[in-house]
Amino acid sequence: MHLVIIGNGIAGVSCAQAVRRLQPTARITLVSAESAHHFSRPALMYLYMGHLRWPDVKPFEDWYWTENRLELVHDRATHLDAAARTVHLAAGPSLTYDALLLATGATTRYYDWPGQHLRGVQGLVSKADVELMAETTLQVQEAVIVGGGLIGVEMAEMLRTRGHGVTMLVRDRHYWGSVLPPEEAALVDAQLRRHGVRVHYETELTEVLGDDAGRVRAVRTSRGTELPCQWLGIATGVTPALDLTAGTGIDTDRGILVDDYLQTSVPGIFAAGDCAQRRSPGPGEAAIEPLWYTGRMQGETVAHTICGQPTAYRRGPWFNSAKFFDLEYQTYGQVPARPGADEASFWWQHPTAALGLRLHYRADASRALLGVNALGLRLRHDVCDQWLRRGVPVGEVLAQLGAANFDPEFFAQHEPAIVAAYNARHPDEPAVVLRRRKGLLSRLLSV
Ligand SMILES: Cc1cc2nc3c(=O)[nH]c(=O)nc-3n(C[C@H](O)[C@H](O)[C@H](O)COP(=O)(O)OP(=O)(O)OC[C@H]3O[C@@H](n4cnc5c(N)ncnc54)[C@H](O)[C@@H]3O)c2cc1C
């Protein structure tokens, strides 16, 4: 079997590795226009900030690919001929395949703003974007970032480390209003301000204004203000890369449509990662999941189907983590920005430090845990995942809180305060008693 994979990101590479394990004799070719070798996209920001060098963001040594008989083609796939099972490349010879995986990722989403093509206006997705950003921010004094998601904050951190002034334009009333409840958003907002980022809420970009040299000189906002800037970061989300599907008969919507087995509408062609859109996502699940770990899971899952072991993609409870400058954020399961009618939410916040924990749960007799948000506290993934899969009641979760504490030496002191706050707010419920965890000494002695 010859498997051709377009895209050497986490989805493509995870599929290649799993197919190599499952079918040692398979021929596997990875095609990528972006870079000769796979790299960690979430680590791109550290290249700009000078914390890492290019070899540091490549998880595998360059010899790894030859050693595992994974053929790398550094070229752009320009056209697919599904009937002839052939991929045409910009420079090299065409490739015929028995199975094809489209793992083409995503690109910056623009909204047709006037002036968006001026020099100094860009998104942050690719290696080329980081290189361009390093070049175009050299003389910048003021930068504006439109969009307040995770990539917007990364851009802000990158620019602030080089001393540039940063203003963020955020459409919602509070930070990441479609995702974060107001209390979490307020902690992030305080963090942004502490690092010198100015945030304009309920404000949208309407126009980019240029100078005589074709470079951005200011932006106009929905509030009618003009903000001078020499650089504009577009962080309004990503859009799946669909170019290759044109004229192939592959069904697309916002992404490449796939069934539970990540199979497209054309037999023998699969899609995974940021470019894929599931036709029937599970309840509460997004059809497109533009995340690193879901890309890896989809790549590994589709490998089984390609190797004749049909396997449906089942993600399990949602998980995501990020950093807002030095404030760590983890989310597990479902935590909506506002609880639904049959849901309840308990939020604890440290009186002075940037630390918070939210337990979101069913408001019925089960009190089953639905989701967790942690800011400034690091939790253990396996413990939270099990709580969510088993629908553990919130009282029991609180009693076991120590089991989920990833850094007990740093954060153990907050567990009694969290449980006391819950008991004080729920006097009509049986009081939760925090179960004692093994201390460091007894854990060391028991090893
Ligand atoms: C700045 C940034 C920070 C992020 N941080 C996090 C994080 O902290 N945690 C997290 O979970 N996720 C994070 N993400 C998201 C995560 O990186 C992506 O979800 C993941 O990398 C997607 O992997 P993928 O394999 O689907 O696609 P990609 O990694 O995008 O790989 C697709 C590859 O295919 C190539 N390609 C496309 N079309 C062609 C063609 N026609 N011919 C040849 N090659 C082609 C592309 O150039 C690209 O190299 C971040 C994303 C960005 C941009």
171-180: pLDDT as tens digits = 999 999 889 9
Average pLDDT over residues 275-303: 95
8 Cα: distance to centroid of ligand 1 (angstroms): 9
CA angle 148, 153, 159 (to 5 degrees): 125
Pick left, alpha or beta for residue 58 (phi over 0 → left; psi -120 to 50 → alpha; otherwise beta).
beta
Per-residue pLDDT, 426: 95
- Is the distance from the beta carbon of residue 6 to the nearest atom of ligand 1 less than 6 Å? yes
Which atom of ligand 1 is closest in space to residue 298's alpha carbon? 26
- Is the distance from the beta carbon of residue 41 to the nearest atom of ligand 1 less than 6 Å? yes
Coil/strand/helix, residue 196: coil
39 Cα: distance to centroid of ligand 1 (angstroms): 9
Residue whose CA lies nearest to ligand 1 atom number 3: 42
Residue % of the chain over a pLDDT of 90: 91
- Is the distance from the beta carbon of residue 73 to the nearest atom of ligand 1 less than 6 Å? no
CA angle 274, 277, 278 (to 5 degrees): 130
- Is the distance from the beta carbon of residue 152 to the nearest atom of ligand 1 less than 6 Å? no
- Is the distance from the beta carbon of residue 30 to the nearest atom of ligand 1 less than 6 Å? no
Fold designation for 121-236: FAD/NAD(P)-binding domain (3.50.50)
Per-residue pLDDT, 410: 67
Average pLDDT over residues 307-313: 98
Residues in the chain: 447
Spatial CB neighbours of 61, under 8 Å, sequence gap ≥ 6 = none
Q: What tens digit of pLDDT does each residue of 338-352 get?
A: 989 999 999 999 998
Which one, of 152, 157, 150, 153, lies nearest residue 48 by Cα? 157
Q: What tens digit of pLDDT does each residue of 13-27 get?
A: 999 999 999 999 999
Only one residue has tokens 């990539």, namely 151
Coil/strand/helix, residue 62: coil
CA angle 146, 175, 327 (to 5 degrees): 105
Looking at the predicted structure, is the pLDDT value of residue 230 above 80? yes
Coil/strand/helix, residue 9: coil
Q: Please list the residues that pair with 256 across neighbouring strands.
A: 252, 276
- Per mean pLDDT, which range of 147-151, 156-160, 198-202 is the poorest? 147-151
34 Cα: distance to centroid of ligand 1 (angstroms): 10
Q: What tens digit of pLDDT does each residue of 376-410 get?
A: 999 999 999 999 999 999 999 999 998 998 876 66
Q: What is the pTM of this model?
A: 0.93
Pick left, alpha or beta for residue 214 (phi over 0 → left; psi -120 to 50 → alpha; otherwise beta).
left
Which atom of ligand 1 is closest in space to residue 45's alpha carbon? 1
pLDDT category at 413 given cuts 50, 70, 90 is: confident
| Ligand 1 pocket mutation, candidates 291, 318, 319, criterion most atoms within 8 A of CB | 291
Distance CA 32, CA 101 (A): 12
Per-residue pLDDT, 435: 86
Looking at the predicted structure, is the pLDDT value of residue 234 above 80? yes
Residue whose CA lies nearest to ligand 1 atom number 15: 291
Average pLDDT over residues 64-78: 98
Average pLDDT over residues 31-37: 97
The CATH number of the structural domain formed by 2-107+239-306 is 3.50.50.60
- Is the distance from the beta carbon of residue 153 to the nearest atom of ligand 1 less than 6 Å? no
Maximum Cα–Cα distance across the chain: 73
222 Cα: distance to centroid of ligand 1 (angstroms): 31
Per-residue pLDDT, 130: 97
Q: What tens digit of pLDDT does each residue of 88-103 get?
A: 999 999 999 999 999 9
| Ligand 1 pocket mutation, candidates 15, 104, 153, 318, criterion most atoms within 8 A of CB | 104
- Is the distance from the beta carbon of residue 77 to the nearest atom of ligand 1 less than 6 Å? yes
Distance CA 181, CA 335 (A): 8
- Is the distance from the beta carbon of residue 241 to the nearest atom of ligand 1 less than 6 Å? yes
277 Cα: distance to centroid of ligand 1 (angstroms): 15
Average pLDDT over residues 353-363: 95
Q: Are 111 and 236 in contact (CB under 8 A)?
A: yes
Only one residue has tokens 């979760």, namely 397
Looking at the predicted structure, is the pLDDT value of residue 132 above 60? yes
Per-residue pLDDT, 429: 92
9 Cα: distance to centroid of ligand 1 (angstroms): 6
Per-residue pLDDT, 205: 98
30 Cα: distance to centroid of ligand 1 (angstroms): 15
Per-residue pLDDT, 446: 45
Average pLDDT over residues 368-373: 98
The CATH number of the structural domain formed by 319-439 is 3.30.390.30
Residue whose CA lies nearest to ligand 1 atom number 51: 42
Looking at the predicted structure, is the pLDDT value of residue 438 above 70? no
Looking at the predicted structure, is the pLDDT value of residue 444 above 60? no
- Is the distance from the beta carbon of residue 274 to the nearest atom of ligand 1 less than 6 Å? yes
Residue whose CA lies nearest to ligand 1 atom number 27: 105
Looking at the predicted structure, is the pLDDT value of residue 289 above 90? yes
Distance CA 235, CA 238 (A): 8
Per-residue pLDDT, 102: 98
- Is the distance from the beta carbon of residue 11 to the nearest atom of ligand 1 less than 6 Å? yes
Coil/strand/helix, residue 138: coil
Q: What tens digit of pLDDT does each residue of 266-288 get?
A: 999 999 999 999 999 988 889 99
Supply the angle between the helices 150-161 and 182-194 in degrees, to the nearest 10.
Answer: 20
309 Cα: distance to centroid of ligand 1 (angstroms): 26
Looking at the predicted structure, is the pLDDT value of residue 305 above 60? yes
Looking at the predicted structure, is the pLDDT value of residue 441 above 70? no
Distance CA 5, CA 269 (A): 10
Q: What tens digit of pLDDT does each residue of 38-51 get?
A: 999 999 999 999 99
Q: What phi, psi does 142 have (nearest 5°)? A: -120, 130
Which one, of 58, 278, 13, lies nearest residue 3 by Cα? 13
Which atom of ligand 1 is closest in space to residue 75's alpha carbon? 43
Distance CA 418, CA 250 (A): 51
Average pLDDT over residues 111-121: 97
Which atom of ligand 1 is closest in space to residue 323's alpha carbon? 8
Q: What tens digit of pLDDT does each residue of 150-168 get?
A: 999 999 999 999 999 999 9
Q: Does 2-107+239-306 match 319-439 in CATH topology?
A: no
Per-residue pLDDT, 447: 41
- Is the distance from the beta carbon of residue 244 to the nearest atom of ligand 1 less than 6 Å? yes
